Structure formats: structure tokens, C-alpha cells
Amino acid sequence: MVWLKFAASLIIILFAGTRLARYGDAIAEKTGLSRMWIGLVLLAAITSMPELVTGVSAVALVKLPDLALGNLLGSCLFNLLILAVLDILYRPAPILSKLSSSHMVSAGMGIALVAVIAGNIFFGERFSGLGPGWVGASSIIIAALYILGMWWVFRYERHRQPQTVGSISPRYKELSARTVYLRFGLAAAAVIGAGIWLSFIGDELAITYQWHASFVGSLFLAISTSMPEMVVTIAALRMGAIDMAVADILGSNMFNIAIIGPVDLAYKPGPLLALVSNSHLTTAWVTIAMSALVILGLRFPQKGRAHSVGWYTPVLIGLYIFGISALFRGTGLG
């Protein structure tokens, strides 16, 4: 029965996520905002709602901080694997060679945010104890860095936008702005609802198999809660909105780390990052390495033929496999 629920939630996400990408693209056209900004902020926040609900419920209801952090970091790891999938599916050329340089800013901020987590886990209470009450100082730093990152990307895009606006012919003239917003809202509600449902189904399956909380969060729950990102980005890719697709991935990673704040607030025993397993360091460092590869791919565009993939794609896949297998062994499951 649980697997039928799992399949049903995936079908809803597939149906609604495809429309979410389409109407997100329409909002970019109607408002004049860049596709990257729509993906980085709007789509990223919507597709990351399952991680937020799963993280808060993991610490507030079942008191498992390792499950919460494993889900957030594991989702970042899986999102970067989705980027490799997009590169394989994108036929004209290696995908990073066709993207805006603005993505380097969001990828770099993602590295900074994950580095704060890694440093906090490594130093433990010596760092977390500096925060107010039971909330760790790292949660405040992460929130400030997230806001700074959004502001930085917005400024970069605002200076770049006049060069690109008007170069794309209207695709949604037959749809009124009100219709676009309404349909986007309905699709967003369906994606969020099905994604949250999927996260609880994943939690149910994870407990059934009784694996270590950090491994379950980093692999099974992370994949489950990242299904909205997978569906929306592939749909955006098929429409040709590659900047929006990749911005959703990198924006979701930033948003996932920013979720540490409300999750830490919901965990009353103490600073969250001071009380989790060191096994999360593996996921954190691999996420940083994969994000650095994305920056290198953007900084040094690869001139490839049609149907070719970037040099970074097999490396991203290899790093993901390495990270999950190392976590599997480190938690005593291998």
C-alpha cells in the first residue's frame, strides 16, 4: 500500500511540475524578470517546501536531527546529480556552456553556506554555543548569507537584464497575466502538497527498513523530496528554459541550507549542528566539490558538438556515487 501511495504522489508531481515550469516561464515573460531569477527564487522555494516540512517534522516530532540534516544535505547532493542528468538530456551542446555567468554567484554562495555547516559540525559546541538560546550561531550566519546571496544575484541580473530583455519573442500572448498567476498558483499548490505527502511516505518507508538516520535522510528521503526539482527542471529544459532549470537546482540548494534556521529553531534540546553525526561531513564536502565543478564548467565553457556531454558530468556522477557509498560505509551499513 505504501508503494502505491509513493507512485501516486510521483504522478501528481510529474503532472503539476510540468505545468509549474511552463507557467513560471510565462511569469518571466509577463513581468520582464529573467528566467534565472524566477528559477532561483520562485521555483526553488516551491520545490524545496518538502525539505522544509520534512526537516521540521524530523526534529519536532521524531527528535531525529540526523534525519533532518541528512535530508537537507542529501537533497543538495542529489540536485547536483540532476544537473548531470540535464547535461545528458540537453542535445545542442554541454549545458554549462550555454548558461548565464550569473549562476557562478549562486553556486559560490551554495559553497559558502555548506562550508558553514561543515565548519560547525567539525567544531561542534565550541562554535554553536555562541548563538542565542538553543539556536546555534551558524543558523544566523546562514540566514544572513542567504539574504546576501539573493541580493548579490539580483544586482548582477539587474545590470545584465537590459541586454537580454526584448531579444525573445513572446510565447504566451494568448494567456492573460491573471490566468498565468492563477494556473501557476494551482500547480505550485499541487507540487507542494504532493511533495510534502511524498516526504512523509519516504519517512514511513525509511523507518520500515530501520537504516541509520543520517543515511536514510541523505539518500532515500533526499531523493524523495527532490522529485519536484527533478520534474520541474526537466520540464524547463524541454521548453528551452535552461537558465531557469539550472537556477532552480542551485537556488534549491541555497534554500535547503537556509532551511537550517527554522529546523534549528524547532529543535529545542540545543543547537542542531552541534548534536549531529560527523558522518554529515562527507555529504557536505562532496556537495562543495560538486558545486566547485559547476563553477569551473561555467568559468571555462566547453566547446562541444551536438549530443556531447560536458567533462564535468561523469565527474559529478562519480562524486555522487562516492559520497553516498562513503556515507553508507561510515554509518555501519556497508
According to DSSP H, which parts of the chain are helical? 2-31, 35-37, 44-47, 49-60, 65-89, 103-123, 125-128, 137-160, 177-209, 213-216, 222-225, 227-238, 242-258, 260-266, 280-299, 312-330
Query: What whole-number distance in Å separates Cα of residue 260 and Cα of residue 128?
Result: 13
pLDDT at site 248: 94
Question: Over the stretch 19-67, which tens digit does the pLDDT of each residue have?
Answer: 999 999 999 888 888 888 899 889 999 998 888 887 888 788 767 788 7
Question: Over the stretch 62-102, which tens digit does the pLDDT of each residue have?
Answer: 677 887 888 889 889 999 999 999 999 998 889 999 888 88
pLDDT at site 56: 87
Q: In degrees to the nearest 10, what's the CA dihedral of 279, 285, 287, 289?
A: -150
- Gyration radius from the chain CA atoms: 19
Angle at 51 between CA 47 and CA 293, to 5 degrees: 75
**Predicted confidence (pLDDT) at residue 191 exceeds the cutoff of 70:** yes
Kindly report the CATH number assigned to the domain that includes residue 302.
1.20.1420.30
Instruction: Tally the domains of the chain.
Output: 1
Mean pLDDT value of segment 136-148: 88
Contact between 29 and 36 under an 8 Å Cβ cutoff? The reply is no
Query: What whole-number distance in Å separates Cα of residue 30 and Cα of residue 176?
Result: 9
The confidence band for 139, taking pLDDT boundaries of 50, 70 and 90, is: confident
Within 8 A by CB and 6+ apart from 225, the residues are 50, 51, 54, 71, 75, 195, 198, 199, 202
- Model pTM score: 0.86
The confidence band for 278, taking pLDDT boundaries of 50, 70 and 90, is: confident
Mean pLDDT value of segment 200-211: 64
Distance of CA 319 to the CA centre of its chain: 17
- Show the domain range for 268: 2-330
**Predicted confidence (pLDDT) at residue 142 exceeds the cutoff of 60:** yes
**CA 49 → CA 56, 239, 268, distances in Å?**
11, 24, 22
- For the ranges 164-173, 224-233, 269-278, the lowest mean pLDDT is seen at 164-173
**Predicted confidence (pLDDT) at residue 301 exceeds the cutoff of 50:** yes
**CA 328 → CA 54, 61, 215, 333, distances in Å?**
21, 25, 6, 5
Taking all residues of the chain, what is their mean pLDDT, rounded to a whole number?
83
Closest among 121, 144, 34, 102 to 250, alpha carbons compared: 102
Task: Count the neighbouring beta carbons within 10 Å of the beta carbon of residue 16.
Answer: 23
Bigger pLDDT: 10 vs 160? 10
